[in-house]
Structure 1
């Protein structure tokens, strides 16, 4: 892998750099690249997309915003998602491709295939379970044969959840068997906002639920063993004594975490951890909005015309959380997230199949605006970790979750230095 990286023109290429998220990834990599090197040489990177003019505008904007005039001279690779030859050409020039072109259900596989065939590592920020799991089914063996790491879900909220659990487990004295996470968002007077691209991905996830069920039947995976006390997972809005606020089931990250735990159990013989993910809501008014929006969302995603309606009017059906314009700079500056983990387990030597858990721990992952600022940090650091820590990745290439790919790396340390912080809040040892 080191030889491949040194022989190619670029260590990292950002594909889809002109998209809403892609522009933030460009800015983040520009910040990081000045302080990084590869084998004693400056990090070589480029951006890719269909339009030379738009890509030049992205570089010009980043140069002005960051006060780095040299960014205007960063190389550009012209590449079209509908042109397999251009995808192959891009992959041959890169060691790692950061793919920002979504929804991945429609546009992800072509890039994955090109990366696998041309022995190029791949990172995306998808939260689309059907796409992620189908990529594993289709390309895991070929990626392993070619020594390629295909790592999906390297954005928010999958990395905070997946690596947050590993951080919590590794910080506990004993065997952790279950954990709950609670996501909280803080914002200013204007609230927080998200771009319609994220909204469209969520619509496709729910609209494709039937195909996901069929895919999982085809994979025929055995259930993971339940170690220790069985976790009580909530399916509706409830009041949590742990955070003393109302909460609701939240996030696609639970599916990602489950895949990680399967890898850790089956490949590394580590104790699987049960997991439940929740989001914190405010008062009764906010709960009412979530319930109404959720009801419309679930009903309309079941049919084609309903999905078209949701896509056409994101702001209306999401009560302003999603829009075609995306969040304002002020909204992004005033927004932050925290994900708090409550883990429980058993002290060393105690039988995990008898008695109650006697060890508890509380940790937190926190950072800036999650949808684009934190996601850019997470994606860029994931790509750099693949590039710089090949010896700490799984022994064989393949299609991995973040937790599976990075469990033995220093990615958490890198994130702590980049503004996404992992901290222990409290411990109760036996």
Structure 2
């Protein structure tokens, strides 16, 4: 990659909801780097810069503005050629992600995004991993909340575990200290991605059969799923449901990479989300059930997209959460790990243990403003880590999930300096 590029970082899709907060966090995290913003509408980009400038009390008038449109391949390539890494905030990635990835690889430019769409992420790995390696380019998706805490939290747990980890269960909880009640907590863009992701979930089997033609050994003991609705005693008996996000698929891709390339036994993983009351759980199940049925039909998808606030019981809106809501929301992910102490280590990663697991660990990853503040911080740190520590990343480039990409870097350390907390509880 040429060292003569005008910019280090370009935030693409900067006039969108996530893009705006990425600019805000970038004022601090990208300090000392040359960065600019990109999108298809110069006036909107200028307006967003003025808005963030006022909020941050920071002069952004000299920030470079680049015009690029996902429907114009040449504009994307020209954008990518101007920087070392593109921070892509333009989703849903199912529709808008691939042209940017393709342009970055052709230009020899790194790429990170906050996709939570397994079909998109795994298809990019299937189609572009070899090209990215040949170009020396890193393409890393799922660089926001909640995949960075889940994947890097699993990496952290393994480093703290004095032995071999067999399985990890994660439990996500969010708490809000805001005095105001009601109002959306998630932006429409996330809702749109979820609709199309669930509608096309059947694509995953075909993608994975090509991505991983050789199946993993049947490692024992198998991590069994908990009941669909259960209580977590260690969380003050909070009610838990299976977590529907992409955490498990992201973590399992990292674990598969470690098995194939580092000869490490892969960790089994299940993800759950916790709620305060059984009444809330019932409401979530009802909304999720209606959502799942409606995504199967074109008319249903159209209605979900047209009336997000109604079908999400008020949790989704085009405006997204308010500043007060975001600033007063905290998150914590608890990781319950189980495995064998170091005296039980095996010679080969495919070998089976004869005795049941004899050691446990619990770790926690926590922070605030999970949906947008913590997401944008993680996204930008994922980008700067590539620029600073590519020598500690795998191969010469490629398409990776965060855990595989950053396990040997200082990303966790940097996250802890910027609002995250990784800790061993017991």
In the TM superposition, what is the alpha-carbon distance from 1:396 to its structure 2 partner? 2.1
- CA separation in 1, counterparts of 2:222 and 2:204? 25
Does structure 1 residue 247 correspond to structure 2 residue 237?
no
* Number of residue pairs the alignment of both structures matches: 415
> Structure 1 regions of 5+ residues with no counterpart?
35-41
Q: Secondary structure at the match of 1:178?
A: strand
Contact 1:193 1:327 in 2 (8 A): yes
Provide TM-score, normalisation by structure 1: 0.94
Does structure 1 residue 98 correspond to structure 2 residue 87?
yes
Does structure 1 residue 200 correspond to structure 2 residue 192?
yes
Partner of 2:261: 267
Partner of 1:406: 406
Deviations 1:42-63 (Å, cap 9, x if unpaired)? 3100000011111111111111
Partner of 2:39: 49
Partner of 2:304: 310
Partner of 1:136: 125
Larger mean CA deviation between 55-64 and 84-93 belongs to 55-64
Deviations 1:334-380 (Å, cap 9, x if unpaired)? 11110010111111122661222111111111111111111000100
- CA separation in 1, counterparts of 2:222 and 2:187? 38
Cα-Cα RMSD: 1.4
Partner of 1:382: 382
1:235/1:106 CA distance change after superposition, 3 Å? farther
Partner of 2:29: 32
Q: Secondary structure at the match of 1:14?
A: strand
Contact 1:224 1:272 in 2 (8 A): no
- CA separation in 2, counterparts of 1:401 and 1:323? 29
- CA separation in 2, counterparts of 1:43 and 1:115? 19
Out of 62, 80, 85, the position equivalent to 1:73 is: 62
Partner of 1:177: 166
Deviations 1:242-283 (Å, cap 9, x if unpaired)? 432211111211001111000001011112101000000221
Contact 1:156 1:374 in 2 (8 A): yes
Q: Secondary structure at the match of 2:155?
A: helix
Provide TM-score, normalisation by structure 2: 0.95
Partner of 1:37: none
Partner of 2:349: none
Larger mean CA deviation between 217-226 and 392-401 belongs to 217-226
Larger mean CA deviation between 11-20 and 240-249 belongs to 240-249
Contact 1:228 1:345 in 2 (8 A): no
Deviations 1:270-328 (Å, cap 9, x if unpaired)? 12101000000221210111111011010000111111111111111111111111101
Deviations 1:35-88 (Å, cap 9, x if unpaired)? xxxxxxx3100000011111111111111111112x121111011111011000
Partner of 1:393: 393
- CA separation in 1, counterparts of 2:341 and 2:220? 12
Larger mean CA deviation between 45-54 and 241-250 belongs to 241-250
Q: Secondary structure at the match of 2:425?
A: strand
Partner of 2:424: 424
Out of 81, 103, 112, the position equivalent to 1:123 is: 112
Contact 2:126 2:210 in 1 (8 A): no
Q: Secondary structure at the match of 1:31?
A: helix
Does structure 1 residue 109 correspond to structure 2 residue 103?
no
Partner of 1:38: none
- CA separation in 2, counterparts of 1:400 and 1:220? 14
> Structure 2 regions of 5+ residues with no counterpart?
346-351
Deviations 1:119-167 (Å, cap 9, x if unpaired)? 0000010011111111111111111111110101101111110000000
Contact 1:341 1:363 in 2 (8 A): yes
Partner of 1:10: 7
Out of 140, 147, 163, the position equivalent to 2:152 is: 163
Out of 8, 14, 19, the position equivalent to 2:16 is: 19
Contact 1:366 1:420 in 2 (8 A): yes
Partner of 1:39: none
